[in-house]
Amino acid sequence: MAAIMSGMMIVLTLLVMVSVPGLSENSAVNPVSADISAACQASQFAEACKSSLMNTSLGSKRAGAEEIVKTAIGLSLDGVKESYRLSESLLASATDSHNFNSTVAAHYCLEAMGAAIRTFSRSGAASLGKRAEVKDGRAWMSAALTYEYDFYSAFNRLNRSDLTATIQQMNSTMTITSTALSMVAAIETYGRDMKLWRPPRTERSANSSTSETSSGYDDSIFDVHNNGVELLPNVTVSLDNTSEYSSVQAAVDGAPDFSVKVFVIHVKAGVYREIVRVPPSKTNLMLVGDGMDRTVITGSMNALQPGVGTPGSATVGVNADGFVARDIMFENSAGPEMSQAVALRVDSDLSAFHRCAIVGHQDTLYAHTLRQFYSNCRIEGTVDFIFGNAAAIFRNSTILIRPRILPSKNGETSPIAAHGRLDPGQSTGFVFDKCIINGTEQYLIDFHANPQIHKAYLGRPWKLFSRTIIMRSYIGDLIRPEGWQPWDGTFALDTLFYGESDNYGPGANVSARVAWSAQISPLAVGIYSPQTFIQADRWLPFLLSNYLN
């Protein structure tokens, strides 16, 4: 992930506001432009918003909130489709010229733009008159903006002058996507009266407030209990050739496309040395192992290998919605000297992981986009080992820091979470609830032998609006008193949100915490509950009662 360094601030904050050509002096009293002006109050880029929308069919008619928002989404989708075509052209030319780096970037951008197109298509179909669908739309738009930024970053790193126009085109697309996302957020916060709309506020915003405060909320339905219910698989994978499949990937490939029912693959105990990819068509797929330390899918790819990169290093990569895993380990065995090496990458909306181990060193879990739930899991790593821009809840899970070097007598710096929220309108963040945050046995031996040279932190800001919450969790003594680590100087310290609430243990003392972290009021913790943060009450109880218990 260091290869995607955040010294380059999110491009949206660097865009120069453009003037609005062609608007008459009487536009303030023009009801058409008044509608657009009211809607564009929600945008961080109000003038660019008005200019873009006035050049559509909205420039000649009155329009309500939903039509304006969907027009903005349509503009974003048009920009993404153009970027997809540009990626195809780059891939063709790079292949012909045997330009390896450009070929890899083009492949990655094609995947990112394909994902963005899918999320935009769903966003445009959502009914913004229904609160649940507004939340869905915001989640999908949040993902689309992340995919666009991935495209921008990949092309920008090529440092090719002939791609300048392509990068500028993506800048414009990200601006209108941010605007559409802000409008969806405004509907969620203020309703459909556009005169009330304002740009999205973060928890750090002065005088900010939320209508979603709650005290004493009951979220016990999301605690997964082991009730011994037997789960009957559709197919089975084993290494002894006694099952339908001998590889996990073959079983995934054989699963039905776009299934509306959960398709269960039982992966029997064993060590499966393979790279697994779950494409977007394999919806509602479930992997069930025989135990997180008995069924292991392991790989050793790393970001330093030619043509791999951080996302491509994942042992298991999931791009299909509704993915579920239980009683299985995802491992990247590349050593700590191999830089970024992802064990599990997740781009799956409404995905759930129960009793899973996710084990690696740097960048172990790439919770990239969309809504994710982890319960009773064990996640191990060294640096930024839970990162990405998903809305993810980690519940009743064990988070363990591993030594970066064996023996680690010279010390190391080990931040756990590196959340990558790019825009204040994105409904993303990491929530650690009722977790154990500690070190592996070897790390704790080294730490207690010389605590001053082993510096562990709850997290650091990968992107400008990084958001991480630790609540009702045990925090071990390995966590530094200041709690949180800067990324680079003062980057993101005024815009991030790092909050703690009702934690315990020797590392939970907040008296010496950095000034840019916060203590969350009991009246506000409900914002980070599963039902509010990832709308889990609409989809998770079914999985809990039928597949995860």
Could you read off the pLDDT of 136-194 as tens digits, one per residue? 999 999 999 999 999 999 999 888 888 999 999 999 999 999 999 999 999 999 999 99
Q: Comparing 118-132, 232-246, 293-307, 442-456, which segment has the lowest mean pLDDT?
A: 118-132
Q: What span, in angstroms and rounded, lies between the C-alpha atoms of 338 and 34? A: 56
394-445: pLDDT as tens digits: 999 999 999 987 666 678 899 999 999 999 999 999 999 999 999 999 999 9
Q: For domain 382-549, give the fold.
A: Pectate Lyase C-like (2.160.20)
User: Is a pLDDT exceeding 70 seen at residue 16?
Assistant: no
| Max CA pair span of the chain | 78
Split at pLDDT 50, 70, 90, the class of 98 is confident
User: Is a pLDDT exceeding 70 seen at residue 519?
Assistant: yes
Name the β-bridge partners of 419. Answer: 388
Sign of the alpha-carbon dihedral angle for 223, 227, 233, 238 = positive
User: Residue 221's pLDDT is what?
Assistant: 65
Instruction: Give me the percent of the chain exceeding a pLDDT of 90.
Output: 74
Burial class (CB in 10 A: 0-12, 13-18, 19+), 36: buried
* Number of CB atoms found within 10 A of residue 211's CB: 8
CA distances from 375 to 191, 226, 327, 397 (A): 34, 12, 11, 6
Query: Interior CA angle at 292 toward 289 and 295, to 5°?
Result: 45
Q: Which residues are catalytic?
A: 384
User: Residue 415's pLDDT is what?
Assistant: 98
3-state secondary structure of 499: strand
Residue reference for tokens 């303030």? 28
464-509: pLDDT as tens digits: 999 999 999 999 999 999 999 999 999 999 999 999 999 999 999 9
Q: What span, in angstroms and rounded, lies between the C-alpha atoms of 428 and 372? A: 10
User: Is a pLDDT exceeding 60 seen at residue 315?
Assistant: yes
HEC assignment per residue over 262-330: CEEEEECCEEEECCEEECCCCCCEEEECCCCCCEEEEECCCCCCCCCHHHHCCCEEECCCCCEEEEEEE
Q: Comparing 67-76, 152-161, 456-465, which segment has the lowest mean pLDDT?
A: 152-161
HSE-CB at 436 with a 13 A cutoff on CA atoms is: 11
Q: What span, in angstroms and rounded, lies between the C-alpha atoms of 189 and 338? A: 44
Q: What span, in angstroms and rounded, lies between the C-alpha atoms of 327 and 267? A: 10
User: Is a pLDDT exceeding 50 seen at residue 22?
Assistant: no
CB neighbour list of residue 73: distance below 8 Å, 6 or more residues apart: 120, 123, 124, 141, 180
Instruction: Give me the percent of the chain exceeding a pLDDT of 70.
Output: 90
The whole-chain average pLDDT of the chain stands at 90
- Hey, what amino acid is at 278? V
The segment(s) of the chain belonging to CATH 1.20.140.40 are: 6-196
Q: Does domain 6-196 have CATH number 1.20.140.40?
A: yes
Split at pLDDT 50, 70, 90, the class of 25 is very low
Of 168, 181, 176, 183, give the one whose Cα is nearest residue 78: 176
47-67: pLDDT as tens digits: 999 999 999 999 889 999 999
Q: What span, in angstroms and rounded, lies between the C-alpha atoms of 406 and 445? A: 12
3-state secondary structure of 432: strand
Q: What span, in angstroms and rounded, lies between the C-alpha atoms of 176 and 183? A: 10
User: Is a pLDDT exceeding 80 seen at residue 15?
Assistant: no
Q: Is 499 left (phi over 0), alpha (psi -120 to 50) or beta?
A: beta
Residues in the chain: 549
- Report the relative pairing of strands 235-237 and 263-267 from DSSP bridges: parallel
Name the β-bridge partners of 57. Answer: none
Q: Comparing 86-95, 130-139, 147-156, 533-542, which segment has the lowest mean pLDDT?
A: 86-95
User: Is a pLDDT exceeding 70 seen at residue 206?
Assistant: no
Q: Comparing 94-108, 129-143, 176-190, 355-369, which segment has the lowest mean pLDDT?
A: 94-108
- Report the relative pairing of strands 276-278 and 295-299 from DSSP bridges: unpaired
Pick 388 or 241 by higher pLDDT: 388
User: Residue 229's pLDDT is what?
Assistant: 57
- Hey, what amino acid is at 488? D
User: Is a pLDDT exceeding 50 seen at residue 69?
Assistant: yes
Q: What span, in angstroms and rounded, lies between the C-alpha atoms of 423 and 221? A: 31
The segment(s) of the chain belonging to CATH 2.160.20.10 are: 382-549
